[in-house]
Amino acid sequence: MTSQNDSTTTEPDDYQTYGEIVWGQFKKYRVSYYSLWGVFALFVLAMVCPVLAMNVPFYLYVPEGVGPEILQGTSYPWFVALFDQNFFNSGVDIFFNFLLFYVPFVFLVWFGLRGKLSPGDKSLYKKRRNIFIGVAMAVAAIGFMMLYGAEFRQPYVDYQALTELDDGVRALFPPLEHSYRNVNLMAVNEGPSWEHWLGTDREGRDVFTRILYGTRISLTIGIVAVGIYATIGMILGSLAGFFGGRTDAVILRLIEIMMCFPVIFLLLTIAGFIEEPSVFHIMLIIGFTGWTGIARLVRGEFLRLRNQDFVQAATALGLDRLRIIFGHVMPNAIQPVYVAATFGIAGAILIEATLAFLGVGPPDVPSWGQILTSGRNTQDMTMILASGFAIFLVISLFNLIGEGLRDATDPKMRK
């Protein structure tokens, strides 16, 4: 016979957390659900870019007496080039190259430990799963910082020319033997062909390869920039809504001042003070200028929640204000932020493409906006349509996810 204590502490079999309810509702919106899988596919594509397109061979055999002595024998230069900052000078590329090995390793460890992490208690399983995810993310961050901080560099080698020196040289290249950076003046402004699927630009670079690697830039800028301004917006909005009074007035005036300036002109003005813009600078510019919408959403939620009974109880218990704000009120006020952040990723990608189209941004990264302006300057419709479609596809996917998430979090829309 079940005791009274057991009946009060044991959760029913059909109990669902708020996240599980939202996920169940989200899956009912098929277009949004498949759009989420489309974004996942883009992330996988961004990770495996070097496997698909790179002018460095996986395997190389150079007989004695052919080429530089250091290259003679058997080598695997592709694996070394992935973390060579002379070949990939952007931290975004180094990060995705790191994930190319790290993510499969984490999944293998997860499936290996899954039985041990699942003791039968659902709540304990979730706790252990979250700990595993947190540790994996921390290890990834530390590993990437150590890898990028090492600044590994090696002399440039033209492996394609090396394979033409002698018939005894054997090499296995990726399917597309092109780099998004290498200039080929013998193949300038070529049309689509079997060798160059979308042709080449005015510097002889393969357009398809540049669009492929541009996926990394767009996804990274969109997510990191939104992460920056969502954090700023949540902090300022929570302080304004919880304390009210002068604090609320000062933050509201700051929001109004930021909203007075046209976004593009403000971004161009800030970017004008940077002598050598990089992808990191673009993230910061978008992040430090786009927080106003999130701040207003969080402020409104805090104004609604700050007089609720659970907040009054936490205050009566003498809890620290910061603990009340971020430990009790914020988890109940953050739901609208998820929806706004999803739409914000699409907006950040569009802003980055706009800045690149206007010539503001690092010139050595394969941005879709940069490819679009290059196509406009040369009147190459293939480049214009290809880069335009890539921008349209990614923005549409995130907007569809945002619409599904918005409806899934609305109790009135639940099916």
Q: How far is CA 146 from CA 142, 150, 152, in A?
A: 6, 6, 11
Place 34 in a pLDDT band, splitting at 50, 70 and 90: very high
pLDDT in tens, 86-111: 888 888 999 999 999 999 998 888 88
Structural domain count, the chain? 1
Residue 9 reports pLDDT greater than 50: no
Residue 2 reports pLDDT greater than 50: no
What is the per-residue pLDDT for 414? 63
Place 260 in a pLDDT band, splitting at 50, 70 and 90: confident
More confident residue, 120 or 17: 17
Q: Averaged over 273-289, what is the pLDDT?
A: 83
pLDDT in tens, 226-253: 999 999 999 999 999 998 889 999 999 9
Q: Provide the b/e sequence for 3-22 (b: ≥16 CB within 10 Å).
A: eeeeeeeeeeeeeeeeeeeb
Residue 12 reports pLDDT greater than 60: no
Residue 13 reports pLDDT greater than 60: no
Please give the structure tokens belonging to residue 83: 């973390």
Q: Averaged over 116-137, what is the pLDDT?
A: 75
Place 294 in a pLDDT band, splitting at 50, 70 and 90: very high
Place 174 in a pLDDT band, splitting at 50, 70 and 90: very high
**Residue 5 domain-assigned (yes or no):** no
Of 203-212, 277-286, 333-342, where does the model show the most confidence? 203-212
Percent pLDDT > 70 in the chain is 93
Of 78-92, 177-191, 250-264, 385-399, where does the model show the most confidence? 385-399
pLDDT in tens, 361-410: 777 788 899 999 988 888 889 999 999 999 999 999 999 999 998 888 87
Place 4 in a pLDDT band, splitting at 50, 70 and 90: very low
Euclidean distance between CA atoms 39 and 161, whole angstroms: 37
Percent pLDDT > 90 in the chain is 34
**Residue 395 domain-assigned (yes or no):** yes
Domain that holds residue 274: 207-413
Q: Averaged over 273-298, what is the pLDDT?
A: 86
What is the per-residue pLDDT for 121? 63
Of the candidate ranges 25-34, 90-99, 115-124, 308-317, the one whose mean pLDDT is the lowest: 115-124
Q: What is the CATH number of the domain that holds 318?
A: 1.10.3720.10
Q: Averaged over 38-50, what is the pLDDT?
A: 95
pLDDT in tens, 297-307: 999 999 888 88
Place 119 in a pLDDT band, splitting at 50, 70 and 90: low
SS (H, E, C) the chain: CCCHHHHHHCCCCCCCCHHHHHHHHHCCCHHHHHHHHHHHHHHHHHHCHHHHECCCCCEEEECCCCCCHHHCEEECHHHHHCCCCCCCCCHHHHHHHHHHHHHHHHHHHHHHHHHHHCCCCHHHHHHHHHHHHHHHHHHHHHHHHHHHHCCCCCCCCCHHHHCCCCCCCEEECCCECCCCCCCCCCCCCCCCCCCCCCCECCCCCEHHHHHHHHHHHHHHHHHHHHHHHHHHHHHHHHHHHHHCHHHHHHHHHHHHHHHHCCHHHHHHHHHHCCCCCCHHHHHHHHHHHCCHHHHHHHHHHHHHHCCCHHHHHHHHCCCCHHHHHHHHHHHHHCHHHHHHHHHHHHHHHHHHHHHHHCCCCCCCCCCHHHHHHHHHHHCCHHHHHHHHHHHHHHHHHHHHHHHHHHHHCCHHHCC
What is the per-residue pLDDT for 15? 63
What is the per-residue pLDDT for 118? 62
pLDDT in tens, 207-229: 999 999 999 999 999 999 999 99
**Residue 124 domain-assigned (yes or no):** no
**Residue 91 domain-assigned (yes or no):** no
**Residue 377 domain-assigned (yes or no):** yes
Q: Averaged over 143-170, what is the pLDDT?
A: 81
**Residue 367 domain-assigned (yes or no):** yes
**Residue 376 domain-assigned (yes or no):** yes
What is the per-residue pLDDT for 8? 43
Q: Averaged over 37-57, what is the pLDDT?
A: 94
**Residue 223 domain-assigned (yes or no):** yes
Residue 66 reports pLDDT greater than 50: yes
